[in-house]
Every structure is written in structure tokens, then in C-alpha cells.
Structure 1
Amino acid sequence: MNNTYYEAINWNALEDVIDKSTWEKLTEQFWLDTRIPLSNDLDDWRKLSDLEKKTVGLVFGGLTLLDTIQSENGVEAIRYDARTPHEEAVLNNIQFMESVHAKSYSSIFSTLNTKAEIDEIFAWTNTNEYLQKKAKIVNEIYKTGTALEKKVASVFLETFLFYSGFYTPLYYLGNNKLPNVAEIIKLIIRDESVHGTYIGYKFQLGFNELSQEEQEKMEDWMYTLLYELYENEEKYTELLYDDLGWTEEVKTFLRYNANKALMNLGLNPLFPDTANDVNPIVMNGISTGTSNHDFFSQVGNGYLLGSVEAMKEDDYLIGVPKDTH
């Protein structure tokens, strides 16, 4: 007679070593927004134009919404289809860090903005047509999609849709402005890089179990979804950046990251854009080593950035020729 009602998780009996390596990477990278001295950016902030300040606020409002979806619905939707108990543990970590990300933007707001400005930002975020559309597209997949479709939506959100917002702080960092705000964004990007590759890897495990006909049907659905999201993201980008004159550069950055999302999922890139086409100031913002604000607990992201960036595509890609990257 089997007396087992509930099995304890055993990290010494791994079904998938990627679960353990991802857990270790995520816990090594743990950080909190409260450790970053955001007030040190106030001098830079005061020198920005009113239009730039407004754009920064709206950008972070949009990012807050996306991270809220991930922390409240996205990870929860994926957890039901976890292949191993260790995967569930990794997803628990990811879900918590998505909440940290969402809270971090409010820390930025409370440092840079007045209460009235913050209220205005959230009112815009909660009613903007294009922002709400992408939230609805992704969240409806979380609610009604298949296990694989939910993973695709998650990877598209984390590796693609965030980047219309990430462009702004990376641009300022590349111009030696708002370094502490950008420190938070780089910490978030570092997390999202692992989240996107890990969930993309789990997608590929399931995708490779499908018949050829099912795979072709799934690929068609994925590319159709990406086109729908990109068309909406173009309009969102135009709304945010036309007045600053940044729109076309941001769209290039979006296409570059859409390709990375596809590669996380084991598919070939769709757009011709590469890192060489992205504004070099922004790419410099991504690659620049950052200050370590708390040496003893190593909260800053500079000390781990290189090792994490090395894990972006190849570590988790299965069955995709390396020359497609």
C-alpha cells in the first residue's frame, strides 16, 4: 500500500539539471530596489526637459503594468504545466522577482515625481489604448491558451514587449545620465534575460514532443501573434517617442529584441535587424559594467552581468543551428 499523499521536493534527484542551474543563477542575482540610491539621480533629472520627464514617467508606467501582469497572472498560468517540482520552485522565484520589478518603478516614481504626477502616470497607464491592448492580448492567452501558448506569450512579453520601455533609461545611461535609475533597469533586464531563456527552453521541450503538423501549426500561431503584437507596439512607440524624435530607433530596438524572443523559443529570427543596427549609445548602456552600490552584499549588477549575458540564447536553445543567431 502506498502511503504517499504529497511528495517532498528532492533537489538531490534532478530530472532536469537546467532547473538547478537556473535556480542558482536567479538566487545569486537577488536584489531589491531599496538598495539603489535613486536620489543621487535628482540632479540629472532636473536638467531634463519637461517632455523628457513626461516620457520617462509614461515609459515606467507601461513597464509597471507589464510586470504586474507577469507577477499576478503570467507565472501562475505557466506553473500549472510545470514538468518537474524543481521547475515550480524556479517559477516561484520568478514570480516574486516580477513583483520586485513592478515595485521598483514605484520607487523611481516616488523619488522623481510628485504625487499628482504619479497619479497622472497611473491614470494614463490604466487607460492607454495600446498599452491595454497588449495587456489584453497576453493576459487572454494566460487565461485560455494551451500550455505552450502561455509560454510563448510570456517570452514575447519579457524578451520583446518590455523593450519599448527599456530603451529610454538605457539611452540616458549611454549618455551618462540617470545611472541609478538605469541600474534598476539593468538588474531587471538581467532577470528577464534568465526568465526568457528558461521559459523558452521549457517551451522547446514541449514543442519537440509535437508532431510535425502540430509544430507547423504552432509556428504559424506564434508568428501571427508576434505580428499582431508588433503592429500594436509600433503605434505605442509612435505615441511615446514621436515628439522626442526617437521612434524609428526604438522600433529597430524592438525588432532586434523580437528576434531574440523567437530564438529563445527555438525559432529563426524574423526581422533583418541585428545588434549592429541598434543605436550604439543604447547598446553601450546595456553592456556598460555598473557600479556596485553595496560591496559586501554585492547588490549591484556589474559583478554578474557578463556571466548572465553569456547565457542569453545558446544555453537553452535546443535543435536550432548556431549559425541562425
Structure 2
Amino acid sequence: MAKTYYAAINWNEIEDIIDKSTWEKLTEQFWLDTRIPLSNDLDDWRSLSDAEKEMVSHVLGGLTLLDTVQSESGMAQLKDAVRTPHEEAVLNNIAFMESVHAKSYSSIFSTLNTKAEIEKIFEWVDTNPYLQKKAEIINEVYKNGSDLQKKVASVYLETFLFYSGFYTPLHYLGNNKLPNVAEIIKLIIRDESVHGTYIGYKFQLGFNELPETEQESLKEWLYNLLFELYENEEKYTAELYDHIGWTEEVNTFLRYNANKALMNLGQDPLFPDTADDVNPIVMNGISTGTSNHDFFSQVGNGYLLGTVEAMQDSDYLIGLD
């Protein structure tokens, strides 16, 4: 019999059913930014103050950088330690959608901003010390961390670090402004919820196989990393929001999502903040239901998709009862 040189992936033999269910969920959720009528938000954009416009632009610029890190570095590193061939296929899907996310912010910029303004946004992204620091922290783990540490960094990025930026469009949505920009953010949140939960699940599989002493060492490391990221994120949030007056409520939202990231990893929450402490306008906006868009003039996040519900706390314990 000839020796197998390269094994073909067989989706009829599934080693881990979570791979299959995640693939199906992600492909059902597929979307592109070109289907969202961003130009319909121009009147709302013109009504914002210059300070608000700058804040929104910087927020979206920061999100662009994080999605770029995840698509270009994160998924490539995670694929070095897959448990099944189907997991690699799922990570390929995630990498592509992170690129879609990064492109989507540029679609927003091209609609709302001038060429000169866009250049200034990306100059700010390239030079902001707190934004660059969190990208560096995460990327250093991707380059030098263990396989499980890389998964921790990915979950922190997906379920925690994005949310200082997600807060802004959700807040405006709750006040009936920039609904199409928020529609893109809700689509991205829906993707990130699945990404963070799936990668957290894969972390838990590996974590549960470690000896107890190695588990304790890894737990100490992951909590220390969260502290380091949160300390930097407070400074980043202050720079973005102090002049708008939103800093404290954004920090509450961050702590709530830091706890969600820990839940994804099968760890105990760190902060006392719960959903009840978060601005209810933002919590209402984070629901990932479909907008009621006109079929001819606008397309919401339910176009050609199955029904996808918002993430529940129990979803962060996927497959590990």
C-alpha cells in the first residue's frame, strides 16, 4: 500500500462535534460590509460635534488595528496547535472574517471621512502608545507563548479588548444615531462571540489535560496578563473618552467583558461588574438580533442567514459540563 503523503480532510468523520457546529454557525453568519448602506448615516454624522467625530474615528481606527493583529498573526499562530483538521478549517474561517472586519472599518471611513481625515486616523493608530502597547502585548504572546497561552491572548482580544471600541456605536445606536455603523459592529460582535467561545473551549480541553501544578501556574499567568491589559486599557479608555464624559461607564463595560473572557477560558470572574451595572442602552444594543431593514433599500444582519441568538452566560461553558 502506498504511503499517505497528505491526508484529506473528511467532514464525514468528526472527532469533535464542536468543530462542526462552530463551522456551521460561522458560515450561516457570513456577511460582507458592502451590503450595509453606510451612506444613510451621513446626516447623523454631520450632527455630531467635532470632538465626537474624532472620538468615533479613533475608536474605529483602534478596532482596525486589533482585527489586523488577529487576522495576520493570531490565527496563524493558533493553527500550529490544532487538535483536529476540522479545527484548522474553522480557524481559516475566523481568519478570513477578521479580515472582513478590518476592511469594514475602512468602508466606514471612506463613507464618513475625507482622505485627509483618514490619513490622520491611521497616523493616530500608528502612534498611540496605549493602542500600540496592547497590540504588542498580544502579539508577543502569539510569537513567544505556549500553545495554551496563545489561546488565552486570542480570547482576551476577542472578548475583552475590542469592547472599549464597541461601546461607542452601541451607545449611539441606543440614542437613534449611526444605525448602519452600529449594524456592522453588531455583525462583528456576533462573530467575535463565536470566535471567543470556540477558542476558549479549545483552551479548556488542553488546560484540563495539564497536571495540577501546571494548571495553577497557567492560571496565575493568565490573571497577571489580564491585569496588565486592563491597566493599559484604562489609560486607553481615558484618552478616548475623558473629553466626552464616558470613561467610567466604558470601564464598567470592559470589566464585564473581561469576566466574559475568563468564563470562555473556564476560569472564575475577576471583577464584581455584571450586566446590571452596564449602561442598559448599550446592553440592549449588544443583542445580536436582526434589524428591521427594508429589503430593497437596506439589508440588515439577517440577510440570507438563519436566526442567530445573542450569547448567553451558559454558552461560555460550551461542551464542558
Structure 1 partner of 2:208: 208
Structure 1 partner of 2:74: 74
- Residue type of the partner of 1:102? A
Change (3 A) 1:162 1:85: same
Q: Return the alpha-carbon distance in structure 2 between the equivalents of residues 294 and 13 of structure 1.
A: 42
**Is 1:309 aligned to 2:311, yes or no?**
yes
Structure 2 partner of 1:322: none
1:170-193 deviations in whole A, cap 9, x for unaligned?
000011110000000000000000
Change (3 A) 1:126 1:294: farther
Structure 2 partner of 1:98: 98
- How far residue 266 of structure 1 moved from its aligned partner, in angstroms, is 0.2
- How far residue 293 of structure 1 moved from its aligned partner, in angstroms, is 4.8
- Residue type of the partner of 1:279? N
Q: Return the alpha-carbon distance in structure 2 between the equivalents of residues 294 and 67 of structure 1.
A: 30
- Residue type of the partner of 1:206? G
- Residue type of the partner of 1:54? E
Q: Return the alpha-carbon distance in structure 1 between the equivalents of residues 84 and 135 of structure 2.
A: 29
Whether the aligned pair in 2 keeps the contact of 1:131 and 1:236 (CA below 8 Å) is: yes
Whether the aligned pair in 2 keeps the contact of 1:292 and 1:301 (CA below 8 Å) is: no
So what's the TM-score if we normalise by structure 2?
0.95
- Residue type of the partner of 2:91? L
**Is 1:167 aligned to 2:167, yes or no?**
yes
Q: Return the alpha-carbon distance in structure 2 between the equivalents of residues 222 and 124 of structure 1.
A: 30
Local SS of the residue matching 1:243: coil
For this pair of structures, how many residues does the alignment match? 318
Whether the aligned pair in 2 keeps the contact of 1:194 and 1:308 (CA below 8 Å) is: no
Change (3 A) 1:95 1:292: farther
1:214-268 deviations in whole A, cap 9, x for unaligned?
0000000000000000000000000000000000000000000000000000001
Q: Which runs of 5+ in 2 are unaligned?
A: none
Point out the more displaced range, 299-308 or 61-70: 299-308
Q: Return the alpha-carbon distance in structure 1 between the equivalents of residues 307 and 261 of structure 2.
A: 19
Q: Return the alpha-carbon distance in structure 2 between the equivalents of residues 289 and 265 of structure 1.
A: 25
- How far residue 292 of structure 1 moved from its aligned partner, in angstroms, is 5.2
The runs of at least 4 consecutive aligned structure 1 residues that moved more than 2 Å come to 287-296, 298-315
Q: Return the alpha-carbon distance in structure 2 between the equivalents of residues 262 and 107 of structure 1.
A: 32
- How far residue 307 of structure 1 moved from its aligned partner, in angstroms, is 2.5
- How far residue 306 of structure 1 moved from its aligned partner, in angstroms, is 4.6
Structure 2 partner of 1:198: 198
Taking only aligned residues, the RMSD between alpha carbons, in angstroms, comes to 1.8
- How far residue 287 of structure 1 moved from its aligned partner, in angstroms, is 2.3
Q: Return the alpha-carbon distance in structure 2 between the equivalents of residues 166 and 305 of structure 1.
A: 22
Local SS of the residue matching 1:80: helix
Change (3 A) 1:240 1:32: same
Q: Return the alpha-carbon distance in structure 2 between the equivalents of residues 170 and 290 of structure 1.
A: 14
1:137-193 deviations in whole A, cap 9, x for unaligned?
000110111000000000000100000000000000011110000000000000000
Structure 1 partner of 2:217: 217
Residues 34-183 of structure 1: pairs in structure 2 closer than 5 A: 34-183=34-183
Change (3 A) 1:210 1:318: same
Change (3 A) 1:288 1:29: closer
Structure 2 partner of 1:323: none
Whether the aligned pair in 2 keeps the contact of 1:68 and 1:102 (CA below 8 Å) is: yes
- How far residue 316 of structure 1 moved from its aligned partner, in angstroms, is 1.6
- Residue type of the partner of 2:258? A
Change (3 A) 1:288 1:103: closer
- How far residue 290 of structure 1 moved from its aligned partner, in angstroms, is 3.7
Change (3 A) 1:305 1:237: farther
Q: Return the alpha-carbon distance in structure 2 between the equivalents of residues 25 and 295 of structure 1.
A: 23
Structure 1 partner of 2:264: 264
> Identity over aligned residues, as a percent?
77
Local SS of the residue matching 2:81: coil
Whether the aligned pair in 2 keeps the contact of 1:59 and 1:165 (CA below 8 Å) is: yes
So what's the TM-score if we normalise by structure 1?
0.94
Change (3 A) 1:294 1:82: farther
